[in-house]
Amino acid sequence: MNKIRIKHDLPQLSYSFFILCIVLLLSSCSSREEEDSGNRGRPNILWLVAEDLSPYIPPFGDSTVQTPNLSRLAEEGVRYTNVFSVSGVCSPSRAAITTGMYPSGIGAHHMRTLYQQPAAKEMGLINYEVVLPPNVKMVSEIMRENGYYCTNNAKEDYQFHKSRLAWDESSVHAHWRNRPKDKPFYSVFNFGVTHESNTWNPFGRPYDLDTFPPARGTKWWVRFQGVKKPLHVPGDLEVEIPPYLPETELVVKDVRRMYSNIVEMDRHIGVVLKQLEEDGLMDNTIIIWYTDHGGPLPRQKRLLYDSGLEVPLIIWYPDKLRAGEMDDRLISFIDFAPALLSMAGIRPPEYMQGRAFEGQYRSEADRNYIHAAADRFDEAYDMIRAVRDKRFKYLKNFQPEKPYYLPLNYRENMATMQELLRMRDEGTLNDIQMQWFRQSKPEEELFDTENDPHELNNLADDPAYAKKLAELRGECKRWMDEIEDMGFIPEEDLIRQFWPDKKQPTTANPVTKVENGTLTIECATEGASIGYKFPKDESPWIGWRIYNEPIDLPEGQRVKIMAHRIGFVPSDTVTVVK
């Protein structure tokens, strides 16, 4: 499979895009009331997220299966061909996307924190939430503060429970169709069918293509119980097996299942796009599709090779702006949050560590490097840091005495992993396939990804590359120092730093004051957000309104109030009646 590498060339802005930028500029300077009355000029943003998938689709050079919906988005939009996660696994990656901060700089680098695997619990690890710095918010909360209706359907997995103010709705029923009339939306849809687990789990919940999302109050999942996932790839289809995996019947079967899941995911994408078209919203919606990290197979997911970090990204712009373009700038997941805000005409906050690569507040400078980290995965610790420019990848192994391969009970559900272990024990793997099972690692690794895309030939000891090695080594140290990398803190100490005595702190109850018909609210917990609901809001799928200024409270009006700092227990709910 050939990787696409085409130079980025800035296009001329179309007249319609120029007008859109002017509208965004004006709306960003308006009051909240003016924004609410002028929402029709603000772009909607549809955010489509697949799981565990490298660029194994036709728009990025792999024609094994057809993906008509993604291919359409690519033909009419922009393909970004140098995009990388900050981790080879989902929870740290999603922490970065929702905060705009590096996981290893905020203590969100271990996979995972909220729901420990049994083997991790046996090691004494508790379920815990990362406590974010007090000024840091989820990006969807910032979108809501700026007048957007925000929904998530439905995966969260941020290393902390979502802020109570993050979403208007986060559930399997969440959809832009539930928004108030004319309110701009930011709607996220997650497509789990390509997840690693779906290579071995024969059962799964496909989309109900006729009634998506499912109706509230129904046992919509019952019809899928015991139903096997469809297989969209014929048994005689030739598939390419990467050289670090053996080409056996079981491995080929897993790879075919991976491609079948891609076809199913594309069908799911088509359902959502069709609904957007039915609602007449394509003309004012930016569509963003990407995957949450690299591929699902062994030596892909969880690792800092490109197979675990590189992802496809497609952005479709209104009026098909930049249609068919390929953009080869280096982009990191840490850039997604500021870019999202920038595309909505919202200035990204200073604390965000990424660069807005598109939109009104696009960074003047493109990045020269991407950075990534690996730490604990389930029950196994191995601290590694990565830096990559457009061609070379540097890995710093902080525990070189540990093997490359570390057993994970979860991963060993996969037939391919079982096959690797069987053949390792039999001595039937070749030298390339045995690399992953080496019992120790060098402290540094350097790979030429252009000539060695699978990262099999370490150049760190080659004098010809000494200058590049020194450059990337220095960049790795600079980055780790800049973000105050928490990887060196033992996790037990990190947990106590977040939760003293391993007891979760609680957000202080809000304090209210009603004077001359105006309600003011305060919370003593630094970094807490305050939310409120009127009786008409009390349906379970309506989120808390964000409090940011005093509220006019008519006589007899009742209002419920709560506060929440991420990582803390939410406050009690307080009711006020004038």
For 358-377, what is each residue's pLDDT tens digit? Answer: 999 999 999 999 999 999 99
What is the average per-residue pLDDT within 259-274? 95
What is the average per-residue pLDDT within 493-507? 97
| 46 closest CA partner among 152, 192, 179, 195 | 152
Query: Rounded distance, CA 388 to CA 449, Å?
Result: 9
* pLDDT value for 225: 83
Cα–chain center distance at 460:
31
Query: Rounded distance, CA 292 to CA 309, Å?
Result: 9
* pLDDT value for 221: 84
* pLDDT value for 324: 98
Domains of the chain: 13-42 (no CATH), 43-100+130-363 (3.40.720.10), 373-500 (no CATH), 505-577 (2.60.40.10)
Predicted confidence band of residue 228 (pLDDT cuts 50, 70, 90): confident
Q: 263 Cβ partners below 8 Å, 6+ apart?
A: 65, 66, 67, 232, 233
Q: What is the pLDDT of residues 273-300, one digit of tens each?
A: 999 999 999 999 999 999 999 999 999 9
* pLDDT value for 8: 37
Q: Does position 269 have pLDDT exceeding 70, yes or no?
A: yes
Query: For the chain, what is the mean pLDDT?
Result: 92
Q: Does position 39 have pLDDT exceeding 90, yes or no?
A: no
Cα–chain center distance at 181:
29
> DSSP secondary structure string, 268-324?
HHHHHHHHHHHTT-GGGEEEEEEESSS-SSTTTTTSSSHHHHEEEEEEE-GGGTTTT
Query: Rounded distance, CA 300 to CA 88, Å?
Result: 8
Q: Is 164 buried (19+), middle (13-18) or exposed (0-12) by CB count in 10 A?
A: buried
Predicted confidence band of residue 40 (pLDDT cuts 50, 70, 90): low
Backbone angles phi, psi at 128, to 5 degrees: -150, 160
| 299, 245 contact by CB (below 8 A) | yes
- Among residues 21, 29, 90, 476, the one annotated as catalytic is 90
Predicted confidence band of residue 34 (pLDDT cuts 50, 70, 90): very low
| From 201-210, 244-253, 289-298, 338-347, the region with the lowest mean pLDDT | 201-210
* pLDDT value for 540: 78
Q: Is 205 buried (19+), middle (13-18) or exposed (0-12) by CB count in 10 A?
A: middle
What is the DSSP code (8-state) at residue 241? P
Q: What is the dihedral of CA 276, 279, 284, 290, to 10 degrees?
A: -10
> DSSP secondary structure string, 113-154?
SSS--HHHHHTTPPP------TT---HHHHHHHTT-EEEEES
* pLDDT value for 213: 92
Q: 322 Cβ partners below 8 Å, 6+ apart?
A: 11, 77, 78
| From 8-12, 482-486, 573-577, the region with the lowest mean pLDDT | 8-12
Give whole-number Cα distances, 10 to 17, 78, 144, 325, 385, in Å: 14, 12, 31, 10, 32
Q: What is the pLDDT of residues 413-443, one digit of tens each?
A: 999 999 999 999 999 999 999 999 999 999 9
* pLDDT value for 48: 98
* pLDDT value for 231: 86
| From 228-242, 426-440, 464-478, the region with the lowest mean pLDDT | 228-242
| 294, 308 contact by CB (below 8 A) | yes
What is the average per-residue pLDDT within 73-88? 98
* pLDDT value for 234: 83
Q: Does position 578 have pLDDT exceeding 90, yes or no?
A: no
Predicted confidence band of residue 205 (pLDDT cuts 50, 70, 90): low
Query: Rounded distance, CA 506 to CA 527, Å?
Result: 12
* pLDDT value for 209: 61
* pLDDT value for 13: 37
| 335 closest CA partner among 533, 82, 508, 527 | 82
Counts for the chain of helices (H) and strands (E), in that order = 14, 20
Backbone angles phi, psi at 131, to 5 degrees: -100, 115
Residue in the structure block whose two tokens are 């009646």: 577
Give CA angle at 469 (465, 471), nearest 5°: 120
Residue 90 among the catalytic residues: yes
Residue in the structure block whose two tokens are 């941020």: 158
pTM: 0.93
Query: Rounded distance, CA 157 to CA 372, Å?
Result: 19
Q: Reduce the DSSP state of residue 112 to 3 states and report it.
A: coil
What is the average per-residue pLDDT within 309-329? 98
For residue 557, give the H/E element and its range.
none
Q: Does position 493 have pLDDT exceeding 80, yes or no?
A: yes
Q: What is the dihedral of CA 471, 8, 61, 196, to 10 degrees?
A: 60
Query: Rounded distance, CA 238 to CA 64, Å?
Result: 8
Predicted confidence band of residue 537 (pLDDT cuts 50, 70, 90): confident
* pLDDT value for 222: 85
Comparing 228 with 250, which gets the higher pLDDT?
250
Predicted confidence band of residue 32 (pLDDT cuts 50, 70, 90): very low
Q: What is the C-alpha radius of gyration for the chain, rounded to an integer number of angstroms?
A: 24
